[in-house]
Structure 1
Amino acid sequence: MPKTLYKRQREVLEFIKQYIQANQSSPTLQQIADHFGLSSLATVHAHIKRLEKKGYLIKTKNQERGLVLTDPSVSLFFREISEIPLRGNCQPGGKIQTTSTSQTIPVPIEIIGNTAALALRCSSSIAAPVGAQKGDLLFFIETSDITDNAVCLAHYLDAPNKLFWGTIVQDSTSSSGLFALGVHKQQTIPLHELTITHRLALMQRAY
């Protein structure tokens, strides 16, 4: 159920809806600031964060016009959403602490695709891929296609229910490549001993 919006939050959301209807794309943060006569983008950021936290929109990382509305009652502005299950937390050393909760994270299908996916949360800055921070959400999609330096999930051939996370790396001593656990790559496993199940497709910054 959508959470209550304060007056200015409703005004910002309505402006975004109207802008998308007229322009087929979302406004930039600067355009929102200009519309409301705000001198600081920090104020706009605060409104967007609250709207996202309350479930009315998603701000796509590294996109100037990356505001995506999630309210299905507004058909002109609604984009199909995929509910991605939150499976646990990334821990140091490539470990994953699984959770039994049924929490899901809404992500537009156009961003994550129709491929089966799961989400993990970074438990700390030392348990996060490069560029991620404590609390960030990591979205992984199922794949058997792997590339160097890709952040992936994997399991041993004889233990399919125990996933861990790490990075694909090449090594002159291994013809198949290596899987480096966690961030610091202090422990590696030959790829031929593993099954790669997912690769990192999207990061969502924590607020």
Structure 2
Amino acid sequence: MLTKRQKQILDFVTNFIGKNDYSPSLEEIKRHFRLRSVATVHEHIETLQSKEYLSKEEHQPRSLSISKEEKNTKIPLLGLIAAGEPIEAIQEYETISIPKHLLTNSGEHFALRVKGNSMIQEGIFDGDNVIIRKQNSAEDGDTIVALINQNEVTLKKIYKVTGGFKLQPSNPSIEAFVVKQLIVQGKVVSVMRSYVGRKTLDQTLNLLTFNNELKQFIIKAQEEIKHKFKPNNEFEIWQRTENKPDQDKFCLETGYTFLNEILLLWVCKDKKLLSFEVINNRQQLISLKQEAQQIYSHIFESNIFDWYEPSDFLLQEITNSFNKYDFTPIDRDILGKLYEQFITREERKKLGQSFLKLFFKKMRLGIIFILDYNSSNP
């Protein structure tokens, strides 16, 4: 039987290989789970090898593979589950194939496809498949499938309270609610990320939809930036470069620089220059930027806007949104159209020509280099 951490690492390795056709490095596993040392990862990998879940070629990098003994099994996929407002319980019977290690050692299992973003701080994103062990009881803090109001189902953490049950989302922007009665239909035991059905950004409608989501993120980032801003050395340096220094303009430039870096990181990911699935926290963002510097230092080098520390929740929201899209077809023309729509006329005036010229230059150089690097390193 696997420990919780061993199961998490095996899940990560399995999903990583399925997406990239090669295995993660020990350093990538360490960074994903925020472990202190590679030695800890090595111990877990050796244990998974001894239990015949993983195999590895000696002295070969990225040579982890799922052992032949690890076979897939099929379980029912019973439709959608709301990670947001409860939705009417509608079951659509089909089956999906999943690795056996995603199941517990006993019990009956089924899968549900997640709709909504209320559980993103638990690493459950819109479009993911959650694997459920069928059971009618739960402990406080379990993530469960709850049937409420006779015909509505929702995915939440459960807590017993006086007079009923509190259903708690893992999203600070969504409030918990209390119900007097509910039926526990099962407990989440694992999550399988799905990249099927992602929207390609070479389609006009998808590009427009993504552009609207980006505009919402710039608004949220601006709110955070203005709330966190205090005069600092970076602001003093910036002021000396401006004819009419303005705090709002500095904050706006900070926000656009941050989102530009995030966007290019996702392009690098889908072009298979970087390997990650989510950005859960600032430390992970810093690590990814450092890794990206080795590919192209000019775009991801340290700058005066690095003072901003985005909240973990904002990074998780961005992950939830960006993972719905396929950045593989992105080229200079598509990215150019995106930025033209993304930055409003009013904000162009605030940002000024000098920043915009530098911004677009870095964007163009970045995407040219990523495309050239990708084509020369298939």
TM-score of Structure 1 vs Structure 2, range by shorter chain: 0.5 to 0.7
The counterpart of 1:152, out of the listed 131, 144, 148, is 144
Task: State the TM-score, normalizing by the size of structure 1.
Answer: 0.53
Q: Does 1:107 align with 2:99?
A: yes
Distance in structure 1 (CA, Å) of the matches to 2:120 and 2:168: 13
- RMSD of aligned Cα (Å): 3.9
Q: Secondary structure at the match of 2:185?
A: strand
Q: Does 1:186 align with 2:175?
A: yes
The counterpart of 2:154, out of the listed 145, 155, 164, is 164
Distance in structure 2 (CA, Å) of the matches to 1:130 and 1:96: 23
Equivalent residues of 2:78, 2:110 under 8 A apart: yes
Percent identity over the alignment?
12
Could you say which residue in structure 2 is the equivalent of 1:57?
none
What residue identity is the alignment partner of 1:117? H
Q: Secondary structure at the match of 2:136?
A: coil
Aligned residues: 149
Structure 1: tracts of 5 or more residues without a match: 1-8, 14-19, 45-64, 70-76
Could you say which residue in structure 1 is the equivalent of 2:184?
196
Q: Secondary structure at the match of 2:85?
A: helix
Could you say which residue in structure 2 is the equivalent of 1:135?
127
What residue identity is the alignment partner of 1:166? K
Could you say which residue in structure 2 is the equivalent of 1:87?
78
Looking at CA atoms only, which structure, 1 or 2, has the larger radius of gyration? 2
What residue identity is the alignment partner of 1:178? K
Structure number with higher strand proportion: 1
Equivalent residues of 2:55, 2:66 under 8 A apart: no
Structure 2: tracts of 5 or more residues without a match: 1-20, 24-47, 196-378
Equivalent residues of 1:93, 1:182 under 8 A apart: no
Equivalent residues of 1:94, 1:166 under 8 A apart: no
The counterpart of 1:206, out of the listed 194, 209, 217, is 194
What residue identity is the alignment partner of 1:188? F
Task: Considering Cα pairs closer than 8 Å and 6+ residues apart, tell me whether 1 or 2 has the greater RCO.
Answer: 1
Q: Secondary structure at the match of 1:132?
A: coil
Structure number with higher helix proportion: 2
Equivalent residues of 2:102, 2:189 under 8 A apart: no
Equivalent residues of 2:49, 2:55 under 8 A apart: no
Q: 1:78 to 1:162 in 2, by over 3 A?
A: same
What residue identity is the alignment partner of 1:78? E
Q: Secondary structure at the match of 1:193?
A: coil
Distance in structure 1 (CA, Å) of the matches to 2:49 and 2:167: 46
Equivalent residues of 1:154, 1:195 under 8 A apart: yes
Equivalent residues of 1:90, 1:96 under 8 A apart: no
1:193 deviates by 1.1
1:111 deviates by 3.4
1:128 deviates by 4.7
Q: Deviations over 1:56-92 (max 9, x none)?
A: xxxxxxxxx7x545xxxxxxx3346441211122332
Task: State the TM-score, normalizing by the size of structure 2.
Answer: 0.32
1:114 deviates by 3.4
Equivalent residues of 1:152, 1:165 under 8 A apart: yes
What residue identity is the alignment partner of 1:24? E
What residue identity is the alignment partner of 1:152? I
Q: Secondary structure at the match of 1:112?
A: coil
Q: Deviations over 1:76-122 (max 9, x none)?
A: x3346441211122332243674525232323167333312221222
Q: Secondary structure at the match of 1:121?
A: strand
Q: 1:129 to 1:105 in 2, by over 3 A?
A: farther
1:179 deviates by 2.6
1:177 deviates by 3.6
Distance in structure 2 (CA, Å) of the matches to 1:120 and 1:99: 9
What residue identity is the alignment partner of 2:158? I
Could you say which residue in structure 2 is the equivalent of 1:27?
55
Distance in structure 1 (CA, Å) of the matches to 2:176 and 2:121: 15
Equivalent residues of 1:153, 1:197 under 8 A apart: yes
